[in-house]
Amino acid sequence: MITKKSQKINSIHVLRGVAIIMIVFSHCLGVFKNTHLIANSYLFSFLNLFAFNFTTFFVLIAGFLFQHLTYKFDTETYYLSKFKTVVCPYISVSIFCFIFFHYPYLSNLPWYSSTEPSVISTIIKMMLTGTQLLPLWFMPMIIIIYLMAPLLYFWSKKSLMVAGLISMFWVVMFTKPDFTQPILNLLHYGPVYLIGMMIKQNYETIMKSVKDNLFLVIFFFCLCFLVSFTYRYVSHLGVESLYYDTLQKIILFILALYFLDGLNYRTNEGKLYKFFSYMANVSFPIYFIHEIIVLELERLLYMSPLSNIIKTDNGWLASLGAVIFLVSTLVVSIIIANIIKFIFKNKTKYLIGGIR
């Protein structure tokens, strides 16, 4: 049982660590750009599909914890906290991107123009859409959700079971995220946030249902995954208009909560828990800076004698390369995050997000 005023839920904490690793892994898989890899390699295709959209975990965790902490919700305190830990690092990392990635383009634009693209209009557009760096598409959408906190707090006092089930149906049937359009992302991930709230509100009931129907839930997850996987190889499957990727991650999240529930009763922490706990503690800095590391490592690989690996059509080689990229990116990101923390101390959260 998870107590109402518990400040830390171990299973959720572990899943945050898992989520950041898989998000980085999905971007590392994207380094290997041979368009035939998925068609030629079931292994690479499996890893690509499984790692894809673990952002759903972050949204579910955010909704779960919002519901968990409603007992101490205060609008002003909440907004101030999110401004410090989300908006400020978003602005900070964006400035870095404008200087180091977009300066050549921006330097050729006028500062301001009412008839053509300008520096100001381009920067504003990028900030509103999160297109200045691949992972930052998430920020405008989640900021909108945070702004809706008073409404979500009102809903948190109501029964969310029906709303959560409808939301699962909604994300499959009617919405699909578009990483350049925050409103479409909100229409998709807003209901996912609500599902996270619903899972926390009905935690004991859901865990009991999973226990009583474990094989059925696992089968449903496998079915969702198999449909998405098969669609890559079979045309006219009849599911072209449906979006199963988010649903399979929601089911996987619920299964993970069930299997990790025992962590919420333990007082001793094993080595594996400590690893994922540490990854959770540095998840925000990793999220903000990892793609910069991926791009730099990719650039260095292009300049090396091993540059042809990026275009390989060997799925096993590409998969191994992605794992190496993953480990390298995580290690470098953690080192940089800790260097920034050493220099800026408690101001680090304003630059790259907080390290717990």
User: What is the identity of the amino acid at 222?
Assistant: C
Q: Enumerate residues 6+ apart whose C-beta is below 8 A from 196.
A: 59, 60, 61, 62, 63, 64, 65, 66, 67
Residue 7 has pLDDT above 70, yes or no: no
- Return the residue matching tokens 């540059």: 307
pLDDT tens for residues 44-58?
Answer: 999 999 999 999 999
Q: How far is Cα 56 from Cα 193, in angstroms, rounded to an integer?
A: 9
What pLDDT is recorded for position 235? 74
Domain ranges of the chain: 10-352
Instruction: Please tell me the distance from the alpha carbon of residue 339 to that of residue 56, in angstroms, as a whole number.
Output: 29
Q: Could you tell me the two tokens for 3?
A: 């107590």
Concatenating the DSSP letter of every residue in 264-318 gives GG--S--HHHHHHHHHHHTHHHHHHHHHHHHHHHHHHHHHSTTGGGGG---HHHH
Least Cα distance to 12 among 61, 56, 59 occurs for 61
Helix axes 245-260, 10-29, angle to 10 degrees: 140
For the chain, give the mean pLDDT. Answer: 94
Distance CA 274, CA 119 (A): 45
Q: Is the pLDDT of residue 125 over 70?
A: yes
| Mean pLDDT lowest among 101-105, 175-179, 204-208 | 175-179
- pLDDT confidence of residue 238: 66
Q: How many residues does the chain have?
A: 356
CA–CA separation, 19 vs 55, rounded Å?
Answer: 7
Residue 242 has pLDDT above 90, yes or no: no
Helix (H) / strand (E) element for 146: namely helix 138-147
Enter the pTM of the model.
0.94
CA dihedral 142, 143, 145, 148 (to 10 degrees): 170
Tell me the CA distances in angstroms from 163 to 62, 102, 160, 192, 194, one per residue in order. Answer: 17, 42, 5, 11, 8
| Structure tokens, 5 | 């005023």
Q: Answer for the pair 203, 2: CB distance below 8 angstroms, yes or no.
A: yes
- The Cβ of residue 344 has, within 10 Å, a number of other Cβ atoms equal to 13
Yes or no: say if 318 and 34 are a contact pair by the CB < 8 Å rule: yes
Structure tokens at 159: 């029964």
Distance CA 287, CA 21 (A): 9
Give the tens place of pLDDT for each residue, 14-63. Answer: 999 999 999 999 999 999 989 899 989 999 999 999 999 999 999 999 99
pLDDT tops 60 at residue 127: yes
Q: 205: pLDDT confidence band, cut at 50, 70 and 90?
A: very high
**pLDDT category, 269, cuts 50, 70, 90?**
confident
